[in-house]
Amino acid sequence: MKTQPPNSTETLLEASTQFKVVRSIDKNFRRVTFGLAIGIGLILVWITYSLLVIALPAIQTFGLGFLVDSTWDPVKNIYGALPHVYGTILSSFLALLFSVPLGVGVAIFLTENFLAPKILQPIALTIELLAAIPSVVYGLWGLFVFLPAIKPLFQGLNHNFGWIPFFSTEPGGRQLLGASLVLAIMILPTIIAISRDTLTSLPPKLRQGAYGLGATRWETIMLVLLPAALSGIVGSIMLALGRALGETMAMAMLIGNANQANISWLAPASTLSSLIANQFGEASGLQKSSLFYEALILMVLTLLVNIFAQMLVSRFQQVE
């Protein structure tokens, strides 16, 4: 876009000979973006609607009781989602339990000049590469390398802490805790990358001010930088949670696909998405409807997490 240099006696609008052109481009651009924005909304509505249509027989048959029923019997055509909702929420929660302290810690370490940039850059690159690994690769690695390697630890947990209900069952090859650990590794890059960006973009005067007042590095990080970056960190955690809830392939391979809501973390379990991935290919009739019903539940669950995240973030922003 070329404009005439402004004449000091005229206003800018009058000076511009291409004003009309600019205006019309402006208008059309607005229309196009508006259309695209509506399009996104339409696609979401379309997906939800088509899920709903196919899920309708299951919704009519089982109602909300679907959520608290733990039967999944394709022979008798009785279905319930309790074990899968339980497995989805618990595995995501456990994954966050491991990855949040680790991820935020790494982000702080990478931003607070503990390291020379020469070493720092490769580390940051490695973390971003972790995010680029396809989930089926994580699944295969978990199945053949990670879980066999970590099995003695689980057995130790069961033998020594078996009195805690969470570790009360003999660990099999695949179980909830192992799958959650792999999930934690999968969501780690999201947490690190976004937290790191937030920490780097904090105004330097915060750091300088804190040091100037005589705060130690520890105090600066804990009392000044972390609270200031909290909204970004919470945002990163929520994004990671979103991925954890929806993760399909790795979970279908690692979680054991047992249709039970067991208190023990060392027992095989299943998640909403792993069940769908497992059974969709050969399902028909009410079974297919029920799988779509589960998909709807997963969508609502993710939506709730997002709304919750928005509320949290806006709250922290107000505090600032």
Tell me which residues touch other proteins (CB under 8 A). 1, 3, 6, 11-13, 23, 26-27, 30, 34, 37-38, 41-42, 44-46, 49-50, 53-54, 71-76, 143-144, 147-148, 169-170, 172-174, 252-253, 256-260, 262, 267-268, 270, 274, 277-284, 287
Are 294 and 79 in contact, with CB atoms under 8 Å apart?
A: no
| Residue (123 or 303) nearer to other proteins, CB | 303
| Residue (260 or 302) nearer to other proteins, CB | 260
Minimal distance, residue 223 CB to other proteins, in Å? 36
Distances (CA, A) of 75 to 57, 71, 246, 265, 301: 17, 11, 27, 28, 28
Minimal distance, residue 130 CB to other proteins, in Å? 24
Burial class (CB in 10 A: 0-12, 13-18, 19+), 171: buried
| Residue (3 or 216) nearer to other proteins, CB | 3
Minimal distance, residue 305 CB to other proteins, in Å? 21
| Residue (135 or 190) nearer to other proteins, CB | 135
Minimal distance, residue 25 CB to other proteins, in Å? 12
Whole-number Å distance between alpha carbons of 299 and 276: 13
| Residue (61 or 278) nearer to other proteins, CB | 278
Minimal distance, residue 42 CB to other proteins, in Å? 5
Query: Which of 175, 194, 196 lies closest to 91 in space, CA to CA?
Result: 175
Tokens of 235: 């945002």
Give residue 183's Cα distance to chain centre.
Answer: 10
